[in-house]
Amino acid sequence: MTLFEEFESLLAEIRPVDRSMVPAVQAHLDDLTKPQGSLGRLEEIAMSFVLATGSTVPVLEKKKICCFAADHGVAAEGVSAFPAEVTPQMVYNMVGGGAAINVLSRHAGADLDVVDVGVNHDFPDTAGLVKRKVGKGSGNIACGPAMSEEEALQAFMHGTRLAREAASAGYHLLGTGEMGIANTTPATALYAVLLGIDPDTITGRGTGIDNARLEHKKDVIRKAIEVNRSYCATPLGTLRSLGGFEIVAIAGFVLGASSCRIPVVVDGFISSAGAVAAMKICPDIKDYLFFSHLSSEQGHKTVMHALGARPILDLDLRLGEGTGAALAMQVIEASVKLYRQMATFSSANISEKQHEGT
């Protein structure tokens, strides 16, 4: 089977959630020993998790975050406050256990895989590092496509297979993360094309660039979109021309998890770009996704509004790595525990609210 045939087979396996379950799930939520709706968004999250898994007795015990790492040729345009050498340095920090995502994934009780899908460095075999390198960094999108069609399909299917392997290993909830210097630039370009948003309104400071470099970054993004316009007729074509290996892999990861009915917690600005591309490829997957937090990165609020999405947390985070996903996983787990473990009025012999006139 060719990569494209594997891609088409994946899409054929994805099904929308079964909304015929909604009345029964809502009845159970309303029967819990509390005023109806008093747990607010926790009840919405529980409903979403149940629908995604397709089970009215959902299990959430094993969690995993995959942090995809890659370099970007567009870093040569000077769009980041940090040099490209930081990408492999941070990967070493992650596999060594010293990054923020290590701390937060441990706190959440989630396993962590760091996936080299396109870092410009040869890593030794290391525990916790998954080697799926497609190339040593993507091409400079200001000059042409980020990658070839074959490379895009490779990165995409690497993400898909990792999600399916996690499903086979018994994981109940997956999360995305990323690491790649300059990757807010391709993410912004992707949003602009996929959602029809003016890139100037959503281009942010990334790792902390000054005003002059911000204006330069806007110019680079506009140039990238124009240079690659002929390749952007489809979501996959847009991904391959304006994305990066880690963003493409995240899109594949999200679709792979959805094909297995495993909900996915999407991290921040970069991960959301992969999720948006995946949603454009297959709209049915939106009900398998939880957007973890509202990034403080310029434009994320605009993107979430365009999607009609309401992230779980708003903590002014903009680190990436999967940090927001790790935190939101704990809220999702709490919601599922309330759904599963609370007593009901039917079983606890507690009087419900009286109706007027009774």
Just list the catalytic residues: 321
Axis crossing angle, helix 323-341 with helix 100-108, rounded to the nearest 10: 10
- Cα–Cα distance, 320 to 86 (Å, whole number): 14
Assess contact for 335 and 42: CB atoms under 8 A.
yes
- Cα–Cα distance, 325 to 214 (Å, whole number): 27
HSE-CB at 291 with a 13 A cutoff on CA atoms is: 24
Assess contact for 263 and 312: CB atoms under 8 A.
no
- Cα–Cα distance, 302 to 153 (Å, whole number): 29
Assess contact for 295 and 318: CB atoms under 8 A.
yes
Residue 79 to residues 182, 209, 241, 309, 321: CA-CA distances in angstroms?
Answer: 6, 8, 18, 28, 19
C-alpha of 120 from chain center: 23
Axis crossing angle, helix 149-168 with helix 235-242, rounded to the nearest 10: 110
Assess contact for 259 and 14: CB atoms under 8 A.
yes
Cβ neighbours for 117, distance < 8 A, ≥ 6 positions apart: 68, 69, 70, 132, 133, 134, 155, 158, 159, 245, 246, 249
